[in-house]
Amino acid sequence: MRDEDFEYFVSKFGEATNQVSVPVETIEKWRTKLPDQLLTYWQEEGWGSYANGLFWIVNPDDYEDLVDEWLEDTLLEQIDAFHVVGRTAFGNLYVCGEHSGVNMTISGPLNAIFALPKDLKPKSKEDQDWSVKSFIGLSISECDLKDESGTPLFEQALAKLGPLAADEMYGFEPAIVLGGKMRLENLVKLKLDVHLTILRQLASPTLPFSNTDIEKLLKP
């Protein structure tokens, strides 16, 4: 039976528009690495897309290379082992630490990593479960992007480019990091892993904290 947090999520995003059952052996593989609450959602709801592909709950195995690429040389990789547990149509990746819960967003379009140092600290199992509930408490607007006039882009992109497959995203060409503009006419449908790898190669991501902040977390 769904808990009230997932019921609230579905009340906003609707039922899954694409869904894959998660094998029991896969759930057990991640048992000691990801919060129990997330694994419960996997067992009950599977992996899949919501709101016609705006938001996805994903298989971390499909994103291991990407998260390694984006965190390389940031000191973040020294804090925890991180895994992608969700993503948006535009290539924002929601990341979960094995000891710190869901606490970070890698934004491909903006070439940035968003996290607060205090959220990167080790957490109890209860607090890690709470981080999952907070993660699925996100809003439609948080998953969407807006153009230069402040108009949400997802529904326009869906109508123009069609629905996304599990390995696709809507990306900007030219990329924002290269001076491209956040406009509907610049959106194209792309392979997610290829495009996010290219974006990471173009420039190092911006961080909302300094190396000193991370070094403090690394101290015993």
| pLDDT, tens digit, 9 for 90 and up, residues 144-156 | 999 999 999 999 9
The domain tally of the chain equals 1
Phi, psi of 55 (to 5 degrees): -130, 140
Q: How confident is the model at residue 210 (pLDDT cuts 50, 70, 90)?
A: confident
CB-based contact 140:164 (threshold 8 Å): no
Predicted pLDDT at 180: 95
Residue 85, amino acid: V
Is the per-residue pLDDT at 216 higher than 80?
Answer: no
CATH code where residue 8 lies: 3.40.1580
- Could you tell me the pTM of the whole model? 0.95
CA atoms within 13 A on the CB side of 48: 20
Stretch 170-196: mean pLDDT: 97
Residue 79 covered by a domain: yes
Residue 163 covered by a domain: no
Residue 34 covered by a domain: yes
Query: What is the rounded average pLDDT for all residues in the chain?
Result: 94
Residue 196 covered by a domain: no
% residues pLDDT > 90 (the chain):
88
Task: Give the domain range for residue 77.
Answer: 4-144+204-218
Is the per-residue pLDDT at 45 higher than 70?
Answer: yes
Stretch 185-194: mean pLDDT: 98
Predicted pLDDT at 207: 87
Residue 92 covered by a domain: yes
Does a cis peptide bond (omega within 30 degrees of 0) precede residue 174?
yes
State the Cα–Cα distance between residues 160 and 150, nearest whole angstrom. Answer: 18
> pLDDT for 77-105, tens place per residue?
889 999 999 999 999 999 999 999 999 99
Between 128 and 220, residue with greater pLDDT = 128
Between 219 and 56, residue with greater pLDDT = 56
State the Cα–Cα distance between residues 126 and 106, nearest whole angstrom. Answer: 24
Q: How far is CA 175 from the centre of its chain?
A: 19
Phi, psi of 24 (to 5 degrees): -55, -40
Residue 30 covered by a domain: yes
Q: How much is the CA Rg of the chain, to the nearest whole Å?
A: 17
Residue 213 covered by a domain: yes
Residue 193 covered by a domain: no
Predicted pLDDT at 220: 63
Stretch 25-44: mean pLDDT: 97
> pLDDT for 17-28, tens place per residue?
999 999 999 999
